[in-house]
Structure 1
Amino acid sequence: MYCIDLFAGAGGLSEGFQRAGFKFFAHVEMDEAACLTLKTRQAYYFLKRNKKLELYREYLSGCISREQFYAQIPNRIFKRVINKEINELTLPSIFGEIDKIRKDREVDIIIGGPPCQAYSVIGRSRDPKGMKYDKRNYLYKDYIKFLNKYSPKLFVFENVLGLLSAQKGKIFTNMKKEFKQSGYNIDYKILNAKDFGVLEDRKRIILIGWREEVNFKYPEFHAVENNYTIRDLFSDLPFIKSGEYSTEYKERSNECLQNMHIRDKEWNVLAQHISRPNNDRDLEIYRLYIDTWNKEERKLKYNELPENLITHNNTESFLDRFNIVPYDNICHTVVAHIGKDGHYYIHPDIRQNRSISVREAARIQSFPDDFYFESSRTAAFKQIGNAVPPLMAEKIAKNIKINLRRY
Structure 2
Amino acid sequence: MKSKYTVLDMFSGAGGLSEGFFQQGFKFVSHIEKNDHARATLETRSIYHALNNSNNGAIYRDYIYGDLKRDEFIQKFNELELPTVGLFQGEVCNSNEESMIQNIEGQLDGSDNSVDVIIGGPPCQAYSLVGRGRDPKGMKSDPRNYLYKHYLKFIKKFKPELFVFENVPGMISAKNGSIYTDLHHAVKKFGYETEAKILNAKNFSVLQERKRIIFIGWKNDYDFSYPIFPEKPPEEFHVSDILQDLPSLQPGEGTDYPVDYKMPFSDASFYLRKFKIRRKDDKLIQHRARIHNSQDRKIYELVISKWNHDKTRLKYTDLPPELQSHNNKNAFLDRFKVVNMNGYSHSVVAHIAKDGHYFIHPDLEQIRSLTVREVARIQSFPDNYKFEGPRTSQYSQIGNAVPPLMANGIAVEIKKMLNEIL
TM-score category (smaller protein):
over 0.9
1:314 aligns with 2:328: yes
1:405 and 2:414 equivalent? no
- Whole-Å separation in 1 of the counterparts to 2:420 and 2:77: 38
The answer to whether the aligner puts 1:95 opposite 2:91 as a matched pair is no
Q: Is the 8 A contact 2:21 2:408 kept in 1?
A: yes
Match of 1:260 among 275, 281, 286: 275
Aligned position for 1:238: 247
5 Å matches for 1:101-180?
Answer: 101-103=107-109, 105-180=113-188
Identical counterparts, % of pairs = 47
Q: List runs of 5+ in structure 1 lacking aligned partners.
A: none
The offset of 1:242, in angstroms, is 1.1
Post-superposition offset of 1:260: 2.1
Residue 378 of structure 1 and its aligned partner are, at CA, apart by 0.6
**Equivalent-residue separation in structure 2 for 1:77 and 1:339 (angstroms):** 35
Give, in angstroms, the shift of residue 319 of structure 1. Answer: 1.2
Structural RMSD (CA)? 1.6
1:211 aligns to 2:219 (yes or no): yes
1:23 match: 27
SS in 1 for 2:147: helix
**Alignment partners' CA distance in 1, 2:417 and 2:116:** 14
Q: What's the CA shift for 1:254?
A: 2.6
Which of 382-391 and 271-280 deviates more?
A: 271-280
* 1:263-317 superposed Cα distances (whole Å, 9 cap, x missing partner): 12x2321111112111111111111111111222211111111111111112233
Does residue 1:280 correspond to 2:327, yes or no? no
Residue equivalent to 1:299:
313
1:184-237 CA distance string (max 9 Å, x none):
101010000001110000000000111111232110112332221111111111
Q: Give the CA deviation at 1:32.
A: 0.2
Residue 2 of structure 1: CA displacement?
A: 0.6
Take 2:12 and 2:83, find their aligned partners in 1: how far apart are those partners?
16
1:67-93 Cα offsets, whole Å, 9 max, x none, are 221221118777724231111111122
Provide the C-alpha distance between the structure 1 equivalents of 2:371 and 2:213, rounded to a whole number of angstroms.
Answer: 28
Give the secondary-structure state (helix, strand or coil) at the position aligned to 1:71: helix
Q: 2:395 aligns with which of 364, 381, 395?
A: 381
1:85-135: per-residue Cα shift (whole Å, max 9, x none)?
111111122112212221251110000001111111121122222222222
* Superposed CA offset, 1:320-374 (max 9, x none): 0100011111100000001111100000111111100000000000000011100
Secondary structure of 2:77's aligned partner: coil
Amino acid at match of 2:179: I
Q: Is the 8 A contact 2:315 2:333 kept in 1?
A: yes
How many residues matched? 406
Other-structure match for 2:56:
52
TM-score (norm 2): 0.93
- TM-score scaled by structure 1? 0.96
Give me the whole-angstrom Cα distance separating, in 1, the residues matched to 2:329 and 2:34. 38
Moved more, 235-244 or 358-367: 235-244
Contact conserved, 1:60 with 1:269, CA < 8 A, in 2? no
Letter of the structure 1 residue corresponding to residue 272 of structure 2: L
For 2:248 and 2:278, the matched residues in 1 are separated by: 18
Cα distance in 2 for residues equivalent to 1:178 and 1:166: 17
Partner of 1:248: 260
Deviates more, 1:194-203 or 1:393-402: 393-402
- Do the aligned partners of 1:216 and 1:404 also contact (CA within 8 Å) in 2? no
- Matched residues in 2 for 1:82 and 1:44: separation? 15
Check whether the contact 2:240–2:342 (CA below 8 A) recurs between aligned residues.
Answer: yes
Q: Is the 8 A contact 1:358 1:377 kept in 2?
A: yes
Q: Hey, what does 1:356 align to over in structure 2?
A: 370
**Separation in structure 1 between the aligned mates of residue 94 and residue 390 of structure 2, nearest angstrom:** 31
